[in-house]
Amino acid sequence: MANVHELNYLKEKIQDLKDQGVYRKLPILEGANEAEVILNGKKVINLSSNNYLGFANHPRLKKAAVDAVEKYGVGAGAVRTIVGNMDLHEELEEVLAEFKREEAVMTFQSGFNCNAGTIQAITEKGDLIISDELNHASIIDGARLSKANKTIYKHNDMDSLEKVLKDNRDNYRNILIITDGVFSMDGDIANLPEIVNLAEKYEAMTYVDDAHGSGVLGENGRGTVDHFGLHGRVDFSIGTLSKAIGVIGGYVAGSKTMQEWLSHRGRPLLFSTSLPPAAVGAIIEAVKMLMESSEYTDKLWANAKYFKEKLGKLGFNTGNSQTPITPVIIGDEAKTMEFSRKLFENGVFVSGIVFPTVPKGTGRVRCMVTAGHTQEQLDRAVKAFEKVGKEMNILK
Ligand SMILES: *Cc1c(COP(=O)(O)O)cnc(C)c1O
C-alpha cells in the first residue's frame, strides 16, 4: 500500500491537468503592479491587472498606509466583534457610505469573503436566490452556503428573469435577485433598471456585485447603481476594495438595517480578523481621492476608448464591452493561448481566457487598460497586437 502522505490521489488529478494541457505555474511579478512590469523575468506591458486607476502603487495611498501602520500597527489583533474594530474601520465605513450615497456600509476582508458571508446571512430556508448564469464564482459559493433554494436566469435576459419570478413568486417568502454589475469576461453591464423594475413588480430584493463597476462606472466611480441613478432601489450593493481601489477588501452598501444584521450574523466578521490598518488607511485615502476629482476615472475611460478604437481599426473583434474591459476574441482555445504566448514574447502580458471560464469557441485575451498606462505604452501594445495578429493570420 502506498503511503497516505504521498497524496497520490492529488498527484493523479495533477497529471490529468497536464494531460489536458491546462496545467500551469503561477506567474511571478518582481516589484509593484504597474502599467509596465517584470513578469517571469521579462519586462512587459501589463494588460491584465484589475488595478483600473493605478492606485495599487500610488504614493498617496502608500503614505496613508505607512501613517496607519505607525499609529495602529500591522494587525488588527482580533475579530471586529471582540477587540479588532478600530476607529479606523468605523471611519472607512462612514467614508464609503458617503461615497456610495447609501445609509450604511459593512466591510469585509475581501470581495470574495463579502459574498461568502453576506448571501448566507440574508437568506434562509423558504427563500429563493435567483442568479444571472454568468455571475462570479464567489456569488456561486456564497449562494451554496445559504439554505435558500437557488435558480438561474439566462445572462442579462429580462424575459428569462421575469419567467423565473412569475413561476416561483408564490412558492417562496423572500426572493433575492443577484447580478454582477459589470460582467468580467465581456465587460457588459447588467440591465439594472429593468432588473430593479422586475424586482419591484414581483416584490423581490436586489443584490448587485459591483466588483468591476466600483471605481469605474458612475460619478467618480461610484458604481453601477449610481450610473443608472438607482439609489434606494438596490438593497445590497457590493463593492470590492481590491480592484480599482487598489488595496484589499469588500463591502456591502445599503441600509442601516443591513449593516446592523451583518454585524451580528456576517460570519467572516465574527470569525476572521478584521482588515489590517495599512489597508484601511490606504482605502480611506483612495476613496477621498475619488470624491475629490474625476481625474482618475476620466483617464481610465479615455485610455480604454483609445485602445479599443485602435484594436477595432486593425480589425480585431473586441466584442460588446461597455466598459474598460476589452476582450479580443480569437475563438479557438489553442489559438487563443498561442496568441497570448506570442504577445508575451513581444512584450505584452495579456492572459488568455478559454473554456470553461468562457463558452467553447469564444476564447479571448482580456485586456485591462488602466489609468496608469501612458499613450506610448498603449501604442506599443497595439503594435505588438498587430504584429502577432498578422503572423497568426488573425488579421488580414
Ligand atoms: C473579483 C471579484 C470578486 C472578488 O473580489 P476580491 O476583493 O478580489 O476578493 C467578487 N465578485 C466579482 C464579481 C469579482 O469580479
Provide the pLDDT confidence category of residue 1 given band limits of 50, 70 and 90: low
Does residue 238 share a domain with residue 111? yes
Please indicate whether residue 52, judged by its CB atom, sits closer than 6 Å to ligand 1: no
Cα separation, 167 vs 171, in Å, equals 9
Does residue 178 share a domain with residue 232? yes
Does residue 164 share a domain with residue 63? yes
> What integer pLDDT is reported at residue 20 of this predicted model?
83
Ramachandran category for residue 364: left, alpha or beta (phi over 0 → left; psi -120 to 50 → alpha): beta
Domain holding 100: CATH number? 3.40.640.10
- Average pLDDT score over residue span 253-280: 98
Does residue 333 share a domain with residue 278? no
> What integer pLDDT is reported at residue 356 of this predicted model?
85
Write down the pTM of the prediction: 0.96
Does residue 152 share a domain with residue 184? yes
In the set 58, 212, 227, 373, the catalytic residue is: 212
16 located within any domain? no
3 located within any domain? no
15 located within any domain? no
Q: Measured in whole angstroms, how far is the alpha carbon of residue 389 from the centre of its chain?
A: 29
Does residue 306 share a domain with residue 207? no
Does residue 377 share a domain with residue 248? no
- Average pLDDT score over residue span 223-228: 98
- For the segment 115-131, what is each residue's pLDDT rounded down to a tens digit? 999 999 999 999 999 99
8 located within any domain? no
Ligand 1 atom nearest the C-alpha of 250 is 7
Tally of structural domains, the chain: 2
Residue 355 has pLDDT above 90, yes or no: no
17 located within any domain? no
Q: How far apart are the first and last CA of the chain?
A: 59
Cell of 255: 441600509
326 located within any domain? yes
Cell of 362: 469564444
Domain boundary among 250, 269, 292: 292
| Beta strands per DSSP E along the chain | 29-30, 36-39, 42-46, 104-108, 128-132, 149-153, 175-180, 205-209, 236-240, 250-254, 325-331, 348-349, 352-353, 363-368
Measure 111 CA to ligand 1 centroid, in angstroms: 5
Please indicate whether residue 180, judged by its CB atom, sits closer than 6 Å to ligand 1: yes
Task: State the residue for C-alpha cell 493605478.
Answer: 54
Please indicate whether residue 111, judged by its CB atom, sits closer than 6 Å to ligand 1: yes
Range of the domain at 185: 59-292
Does residue 286 share a domain with residue 224? yes
Average pLDDT, the chain: 96
Active site residue 272: no
2 located within any domain? no
Does residue 355 share a domain with residue 267? no
- For the segment 168-225, what is each residue's pLDDT rounded down to a tens digit? 999 999 999 999 999 999 999 999 999 999 999 999 999 999 999 999 999 999 999 9
Domain boundary among 237, 260, 292: 292
21 located within any domain? no
Domain holding 32: CATH number? 3.90.1150.10
- For the segment 51-90, what is each residue's pLDDT rounded down to a tens digit? 999 999 999 999 999 999 999 999 999 999 999 999 999 9
Closest to 209 in 3D by CA, of 237, 250, 175, 244: 237
In the set 58, 136, 243, 308, the catalytic residue is: 243
Provide the pLDDT confidence category of residue 352 given band limits of 50, 70 and 90: very high
Q: Whose CA is nearest to atom 5 of ligand 1?
A: 111
Among 33, 107, 112, name the best residue to mutate to test ligand 1's pocket (greatest count of ligand atoms within 8 A of Cβ): 112
Does residue 321 share a domain with residue 179? no
Does residue 110 share a domain with residue 207? yes
Measure 3 CA to ligand 1 centroid, in angstroms: 39
Does residue 270 share a domain with residue 155? yes
Among 108, 182, 214, 243, name the best residue to mutate to test ligand 1's pocket (greatest count of ligand atoms within 8 A of Cβ): 243
Q: Measured in whole angstroms, how far is the alpha carbon of residue 106 from the centre of its chain?
A: 18
For 197-219, b/e burial (b = at least 16 CB within 10 A) is ebbeebebbbbbbbbbbbbbbbe
Domain boundary among 292, 327, 357: 292
Q: Whose CA is nearest to atom 1 of ligand 1?
A: 211
Q: What percent of the chain stands above pLDDT 90?
A: 95
